[in-house]
C-alpha cells in the first residue's frame, strides 16, 4: 500500500490549495487580493422551475488553450504558473473563476426569485506534466488521481449545505476545454441541479415500483448484454449504455451494492476504477487518428434527504461529441428544446467497434496498478 501525503495551503486571496505527495514549498507567494464575486447568484426560471447560475466574472477566464505544441508556454497549470509556483506531483485548488462559493454574496433583489450561489468549485491537477491523458499517466499517477477524487469528495460532503458532488473532466477543444494540461474539476452544489433531480426521481420510482436497487438492476442488465460491453473489469461494468444520447457514450458503473459515492469504494475498487478509466480513455485516444474530445462525469448519490443513497451505484459517464472521425453531433434544437436525443448509431454496433479498438490497442506490457491511500497532513 502506497501512502499519499496531503498538505493544505492557502492562496493570498483565500483560496485553498491541497498538494498531494511531496511538498516543495510551504508557503505561496502573494498574488494580490481577490475572493470577491459580487455578481454571483442563482436565478429561478419559472418556465422550467429550475435554477440558472449567473456568473459574469467567468467571462474573463482564458478562451483558448495553449496547444500541445506550444508546450507549457503560458499554461497557468504548469509548475511556475500562478496556481502552482513550485514543483508538484498532484494538487487540487479552489477555482479562480467559481460559479459556486462556500460563503456566497447576498443575491440581488430582482423581479423574480434569486438565491445565493452556494457550493464549491475545485480544479484537480492530475500531474505537473503538461501533456497526456488518463490513458497515458503513469500507473502511480493514475491511481493517485482516483484517490484524490475520493479524498476531496469526502471532504466536500462534510459541508452540510452540499446536496451533490460532481467530479468531471472536459477534454478537448471540441467540448470547449480552455486548457490542455491534464486536469479535471469538482463542483459541490448547494442545491440539487435539474438532471440530478431527474436521476434521483428515477431511482426513487424504480425502488417504489420494483422494490429493488436501480443501480444493481442497471449493472445486471448491462452484464446480460455482452454486445454492449467494451472492456472487462472485476469491480466495474464498462458498457455502452442501453439508451445512450451520444454515439460513443461509455458508462463505467460500480458493480457492488453500497457504492453510491467515491469514498465508499475500497482501495482495491479504486485501483480497478483507475484500470477501467485507463482502458476507456485509451480507446478514445486511439479510435480515430486524433484523440476524441469528451465530457466525463462521475455521478454520485445526492444528499441523504433524497432517499436514494442506498439505490445508487456511482458511475463515470463519458460523452464524446463525435459521430464520425471529423463529424460532431451537435446538441441541436430537438435535443435542446425538447430534451429528446436522437442517436444516429446502433449502440450494439458502436460497442462492438469500441471493444475491438480496446483489444487492438491494448499494450502487451500494460503496467499493473498500485494501491494508494491518502494521509492528511
* Half-sphere exposure at residue 161, Cβ-oriented, CA atoms within 13 angstroms: 15
Report the nearest approach of Zn ion to the CB of residue 72 (Å).
5
* Site for Zn ion contains 257 (CB under 5 A): yes
Subset of 62-91 contacting Zn ion (CB under 5 A): 72, 75, 77-78
Of 29 and 74, nearer to Zn ion (C-beta) is: 74
Are 145 and 372 contacting, i.e. CB atoms less than 8 angstroms apart? Answer: no
Alpha-carbon span 134 to 318, nearest angstrom:
13
> Rg (Cα) of the chain, in Å, rounded?
21
| Window 178-197: contact mask with Zn ion (x via CB under 5 A) | ---x----------------
Site string for Zn ion, 17-36 (x = CB under 5 A): --------------------
CB 27 within 8 A of CB 38: no
Say which DSSP state 322 is in. B
Cell, residue 349: 454496433
Applying CB under 5 A, among 192, 213, 240, 357 the residue interacting with Zn ion is 213
Per the annotation, the verdict on 183 as an active-site residue is yes
Candidates 116, 190, 215, 247; binder of Zn ion (CB under 5 A) is 215
Q: What are phi and psi of 45, to 5 degrees?
A: -95, 105
Q: Which entry of 183, 191, 251, 313 is annotated as an active-site residue?
A: 183
Q: If you ran DSSP here, which 8-state letter would residue 337 be given?
A: I
CA distance 173 to 309: 35
Around Cβ 276, how many Cβ atoms within 10 Å? 24
CB 329 within 8 A of CB 321: yes
Of the pair 212, 336, the CB lying nearest Zn ion is at: 212
Contacts of 193 (CB under 8 A, 6+ apart): 50, 51, 164
Residues 6+ apart with CB under 8 A from 83: 17, 76, 77, 91, 93, 96, 123, 125
- Total site size for Zn ion, rule CB under 5 A: 10
> Is there binding between residue 92 and Zn ion (CB under 5 A)?
no
Minimum separation from the CB atom of position 81 to Zn ion (A): 7
**Among 40-48, 88-96, 210-218, 272-280, the segment contacting Zn ion (CB under 5 A):** 210-218
In angstroms, what is the minimal distance from the CB of 121 to Zn ion? Answer: 20
Of 23, 57, 216, 267, the one binding Zn ion (CB under 5 A) is 216
Provide the mask over 144-183, with x wherever binding to Zn ion is found by CB under 5 A and - wherever it is not. -------------------------------------x--
CA–CA gap between residue 265 and residue 253 (Å, rounded)? 12
Least separation, in Å, of the C-beta of 213 and Zn ion?
Answer: 3
Q: Which is nearer to Zn ion, 293 or 372 (CB)?
A: 293
Query: Cell numbers at residue 319, please?
Result: 460523452
The residues in 106-145 that bind Zn ion, with binding defined as CB under 5 A, are: 130
Minimum distance, C-beta of residue 59 to Zn ion, in the bound complex (Å):
22
Question: Where on the chain is the footprint of Zn ion (CB under 5 A)?
Answer: 72, 75, 77-78, 130, 181, 213, 215-216, 257
Enumerate the active-site residues: 183
Amino acid at each position: 500500500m502506497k501512502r499519499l501525503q496531503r498538505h493544505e495551503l492557502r492562496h493570498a486571496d483565500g483560496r485553498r490549495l491541497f498538494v498531494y505527495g511531496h511538498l516543495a514549498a510551504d508557503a505561496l507567494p502573494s498574488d494580490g487580493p481577490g475572493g470577491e464575486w459580487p455578481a454571483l447568484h442563482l436565478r429561478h426560471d419559472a418556465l422550467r422551475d429550475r435554477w440558472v447560475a449567473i456568473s459574469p466574472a467567468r467571462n474573463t477566464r482564458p478562451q483558448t488553450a495553449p496547444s500541445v505544441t506550444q508546450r507549457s508556454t503560458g499554461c497557468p497549470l504548469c509548475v511556475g504558473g500562478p496556481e502552482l509556483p513550485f514543483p508538484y506531483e498532484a494538487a487540487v485548488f479552489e477555482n479562480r473563476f467559481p460559479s459556486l462559493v462556500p460563503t456566497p454574496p447576498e443575491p440581488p433583489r430582482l423581479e423574480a426569485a434569486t438565491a445565493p450561489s452556494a457550493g464549491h468549485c475545485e480544479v484537480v491537477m492530475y500531474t505537473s506534466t503538461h501533456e497526456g491523458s488518463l490513458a497515458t499517466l503513469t500507473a502511480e499517477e493514475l491511481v493517485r488521481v482516483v484517490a484524490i477524487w475520493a479524498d476531496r469528495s469526502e471532504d466536500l460532503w462534510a459541508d452540510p449545505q452540499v446536496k451533490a458532488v460532481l467530479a468531471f473532466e472536459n477534454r478537448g477543444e471540441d467540448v470547449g476545454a480552455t486548457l490542455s494540461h491534464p486536469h479535471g474539476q469538482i463542483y459541490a452544489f448547494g442545491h440539487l441541479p435539474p438532471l440530478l433531480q431527474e436521476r434521483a426521481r428515477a431511482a426513487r420510482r424504480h425502488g417504489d415500483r420494483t422494490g429493488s436497487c436501480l443501480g444493481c438492476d442497471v449493472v445486471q442488465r448491462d452484464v446480460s448484454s455482452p454486445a454492449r460491453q467494451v472492456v472487462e473489469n472485476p469491480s466495474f461494468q464498462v458498457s455502452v449504455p442501453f439508451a445512450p444520447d451520444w454515439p460513443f457514450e461509455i458508462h463505467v458503473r460500480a458493480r457492488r451494492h453500497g457504492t453510491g459515492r467515491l469514498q465508499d469504494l475500497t482501495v482495491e475498487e479504486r485501483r480497478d476504477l483507475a484500470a477501467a478509466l485507463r482502458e476507456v480513455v485509451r480507446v478514445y485516444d486511439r479510435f480515430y487518428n486524433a484523440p476524441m474530445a469528451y465530457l466525463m462525469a462521475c455521478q454520485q448519490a445526492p444528499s441523504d434527504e433524497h432517499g436514494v443513497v442506498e439505490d445508487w451505484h456511482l458511475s463515470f459517464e463519458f460523452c464524446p461529441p463525435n459521430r464520425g472521425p471529423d463529424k460532431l453531433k451537435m446538441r441541436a434544437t430537438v435535443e435542446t428544446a425538447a430534451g429528446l436525443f436522437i442517436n444516429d448509431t446502433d449502440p450494439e454496433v458502436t460497442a462492438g467497434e469500441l471493444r475491438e479498438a480496446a483489444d487492438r490497442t491494448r499494450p502487451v506490457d500494460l503496467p499493473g496498478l498500485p494501491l494508494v491511500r491518502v494521509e492528511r497532513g
